[in-house]
Amino acid sequence: MERPAWAPEEIDLTKPSVARVYDYYLGGSHNFAVDREFAAKAIGMWPELPVIMQANRAFLRRAVRHLVESGITQFLDIGSGIPTVGSTHEVVRAAGSEAGVVYVDNDPVAVAHGRAILGDDPRTVMLGGDVRDPLGILESAAATGLYDPARPVAVLLVALLHFVPDEENPAELIAFLHKHIAPGSRLVVSHASADGEPERAAEHQDLYRRRDAPMHMRSRDEVAAFFDGFELAEPGLVFLPEWRPEAGAAPEAKPGRFTGYAGVGTRT
């Protein structure tokens, strides 16, 4: 297999990568045949999987545009995956902003690909880090010069917290971030839930167990608790397609089929 310029030398192209499979679901080009074969098997188990992933990315785009319009000038995207196909920095630039964007992921494949893709972009950087070490993330982000702790920042935890089990205290991780980010900062969360279609939840969770990435679906009340200390923006915590849909978009008949909630809050 010929290695494309964006694929780092240290990455094994013969093994599927969760990050590249996600890129494939989004319609991206940073994936290989081995990733597409894996995705085909996953879609066979869960046919709506690409649609769900695309709805999640569409929420991120809408949220980031809203935050740029609200005056946010720095973004911390934790658990970002490979920064491609409508990622935060692309949305920021398309909105005419030069805001700094710090991507963080604990997957070495995502980090390596991300750094190769971003190159020497002076306003965007890719870091290795884990949400379970929020202090380490904040310190590393500040060291890049793209994050100033004294100013409001948008912290994106998009499709991430459902991979953090209760015993690892995701609420405490967010409480730590709340304490250490400036007033006026934003928290952006999307989270898988069985509330919309409970009969499909078991299949969805089984799929991720097979990918060695156990998913912990939570109820609306449980997800809402993550926003303690944050004032939710309208329309509050809603199913993915219901969060500020694009103007003119037809209402989604069954928003719960996307098996996830989304919300944006301001640190008080």
Residue 13 predicted with pLDDT over 90: no
Q: Is residue 1's pLDDT more than 90?
A: no
Q: Of 228, 214, 215, 241, which Cα lies nearest the Cα of 267? A: 228
Q: For residue range 55-101, what is the model confidence (pLDDT) as tens digits?
A: 999 999 999 999 999 999 999 999 999 998 899 999 999 999 999 99
CA 196, 163, 180, 78 torsion-angle sign: negative
Query: What number is the average pLDDT over the span 151-166?
Result: 95
Residue 111's Cβ-count burial label (10 Å; 0-12, 13-18, 19+) is buried
Distance CA 232, CA 165 (A): 24
Pairing of strands 100-105, 124-128: parallel
199-229 pLDDT per residue, tens: 655 555 566 555 555 778 899 999 999 999 9
Domains delineated in the chain? 51-197+216-242+256-267 (3.40.50.150)
3-state secondary structure the chain: CCCCCCCCCCCCCCCCCHHHHHHHHCCCCCCCHHHHHHHHHHHHHCCCHHHHHHHHHHHHHHHHHHHHHCCCCEEEEECCCCCCCCCHHHHHHHCCCCCEEEEEECCHHHHHHHHHHHCCCCCEEEEECCCCCHHHHHHHHHHCCCCCCCCCCEEEEECCHHHCCHHHCHHHHHHHHHHHCCCCCEEEEEEECCCCCHHHHHHHHHHHHHCCCCCCCCCHHHHHHHHCCEEECCCCCEEHHHCCCCCCCCCCCCHHHHCEEEEEEEEC
pLDDT of residue 100: 98
Say whether pLDDT at 188 is over 90.
yes
